[in-house]
């Protein structure tokens, strides 16, 4: 599987980067706050 997209977590709180080799990043790359703001960690 080859991809480079963001996948939403199961609980909907964060977005993880799907690496080109098909594995997910360890930590969320960003979260979308209730007001629509995007925060990075």
The pLDDT averaged over each successive group of 10 residues in the chain (41 residues) is: 74 84 82 84 70
Please say whether the beta carbons of 28 and 16 come within 8 A. yes
Please say whether the beta carbons of 15 and 28 come within 8 A. yes
Please say whether the beta carbons of 24 and 17 come within 8 A. yes
pLDDT of residue 8: 86
Please say whether the beta carbons of 13 and 30 come within 8 A. no
pTM reported for the whole predicted model: 0.60
């Amino acid at each position: 599987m080859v991809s480079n997209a963001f996948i939403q977590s199961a609980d909907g709180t964060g977005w993880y980067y799907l690496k080109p080799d098909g594995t997910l990043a360890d930590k969320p790359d960003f979260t979308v706050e209730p007001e629509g703001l995007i925060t990075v960690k």
